[in-house]
Chain A
Amino acid sequence: MTAAPAAALLQPAPEYAIDTKKLNLWYGTFQALYEVDLQIRKGMITSMIGPSGCGKSTYLRSVNRINERLGYVRIEGSIEVMGQNIYDSDVELIQVRKQVGMVFQRPNPLPISIRDNILFSHRLHAKGGGGVHQGTPDEIVEESLRTVLLWDKVKDRLKRKATELSLEEQQKLCIARLLPVKPTLLLMDEPCSALDPKGTEAVEELLWELRGQYTILIVTHNMAQARRASEECIFMLMGRVVEHALTEEMFVTPTHKETADYIEGRYG
């Protein structure tokens, strides 16, 4: 992988939301990640691209430890989120899930009202003290929905079931419901692959809205999306990080032949 992007040299040392050191991961006997070292800049949008099975989703899923529910996953190395190795034994899984929100390929709102979806996570964590939105439920619902540019569309039907919304709206709701507990990190696993071009555009627009306030790591199969909607880009192949650079640099002057070949669509 390349060194920190050139632009960073001119500024004070960059802050990293995720610092991954020598991460190896096995599913049973199959090794899915090899010696992954990745620093994800705080407050930026970083995209991960690569052919199917390259390990990008696996990496994403190990950042909120959802992988380990499979039971046969083994991990070596460390992933530090805001300086804390989330694989340390004294780390509470529930807190990891609160700090690191995840958005899936298929929108998965709960079959309850729009309002209850937004408040679901907040209700789980509110009694645990600090680190959550302190407003009234109504304020939380409005603010979260405004942030994802959904408020005006749904403000009159907050009591309706979330599953009645369009896919695009559902996906925005799935992002919105993470916000009331003030996560540091938003992980998105191909969040637009179930959406049409218009929905995709809307979600990308939303990513730029959230940028700065949240660190966003997005896995995508869509190279045009990586190019449009991210500031840094990571290219993975066969469980290894091949290249990590500013998005504009990677797409214009990739330093590795594999990256160039993939970006130009010679395999994928």
Chain B
Amino acid sequence: MTTANAAMFQASSLNHRNARVQSLYRILFGVMTLMLIAPVMMILGTLIYKGGGVISWEFLFTAPTDGMRTGGVLPALLGTVWLVTVALLLSVPIGVFAAIYLSEYAGDNWFTRIINLAIINLAGVPSIVHALFGLGAFVIFFKFGTSILAASLTLAVMTMPVVIVATRESLQSVPPAFREACWNMGATRWQTIRKVVLPNSITGILTGVILEVSRTAGETAPIMFTGAVFFTPFLPQSVFDQTMALSLHLFVAATQVPGIAEEVPFGIALVLIGLVLLMNSASIAFRMWLRGKKKW
């Protein structure tokens, strides 16, 4: 073998330079990824470090006492569960069905384009505007008063775009060939949707619902004027009651209550995050169960 042949396979200076650039970018992307998870870790770490101490069965299952300086978070915890559940019951059917209509039935014309524009705009409206809308529409105009119903309706309106967009995207990820196959065998649109499209997109739809749960549970502004109160010693009995909510309770405890122990707000925040994680895990478990079944 001659030296000339060997040189053909040696790295040139250009190869070296390209390799250096390549590793630089790799480091850059890696660092950015770290920066992404760093805040999450810091928030969780701080909350557990500062608020972990106050978490106890008593904290979870008793009402606040002494002007919210002592006692637990039960009314707020239950209130948030109420608000999220009612908001989901309202927004998931509407959002999912509307998305099915838009993606499976409606064509692409000026009317559906306007609807799409409206959905995007709805998603961009600040939550305080939703709050005022909820106050005007549900509390005053529909005379629901400040109640779980009015607050959940407001939350539902606010989070509906998330459900619609997630549902549409997962419906559109079902290959068109499946639909064609169905139509060609004489299936109606609904039969096609029920037997082929939904079973193949249900997991994506649930992902949208999970996102919505997180957002709904954490929102403060939309419920402040519409159904959540600073303090009530009563647990909600129906959707027409006012209620406490974890997010608002956290805001109040952190800013409005003088002389409160420093770790209490951290504890409340930890409960809120724990609740969201719990609800998310439940829907993730449901999603995995469906995927395993794959029958539906």
Contacts and interface: CB of A to CB of B under 8 A. Distances in A.
**A-B interaction:** yes
Interface string B174-213: 0001101111111110010001100010000000000000
Interface in B21-55: none
Interface string A117-133: 00011001100000000
Contacts of B177: 104, 106, 108
Contact of A124 (B107, B187, B200): B187
A102 interface: yes
B191 A124 contact: yes
A110 B183 contact: no
Contact of B188 (A94, A102, A177, A181): A94
A66 interface: yes
Is the interface on chain B under 10, 10 to 19, 20 to 34, or 35 or more residues?
10 to 19
A60 to B, nearest CB: 12
Contact of B184 (A66, A71, A106, A125): A66
A111 interface: yes
A56 interface: no
A109 interface: yes
A64 B200 contact: no
Contacts of A178: 185
Interface residues of A, number: 26
Contact of B186 (A104, A108, A112, A125): A125
B186 A95 contact: yes
A177 B195 CA distance: 16
A97 interface: yes
Contacts of A98: 185-186
A94 B107 contact: no
B188 A64 contact: no
B178 A124 contact: no
Contacts of B183: 66, 69, 97
B181 A108 contact: yes
A125 B107 CA distance: 27
B185 A97 contact: yes
B200 A111 contact: yes
Given A71-B107, A98-B186, A124-B187, A108 B180 contact: yes
A239 interface: no
Interface in B163-180: 177-178, 180
B173 to A, nearest CB: 13
B186 A94 contact: yes
A101 interface: yes
Given A98-B186, A181-B186, 11 more contacts: A96-B186, A97-B184, A101-B184, A102-B184, A104-B181, A108-B180, A110-B196, A124-B186, A124-B187, A124-B191, A177-B185
22 contacts: A64-B184, A66-B183, A66-B184, A71-B107, A94-B188, A95-B186, A96-B186, A97-B185, A98-B186, A104-B177, A106-B177, A108-B181, A109-B181, A110-B181, A110-B196, A111-B196, A120-B182, A124-B186, A124-B187, A177-B185, A181-B185, A181-B186
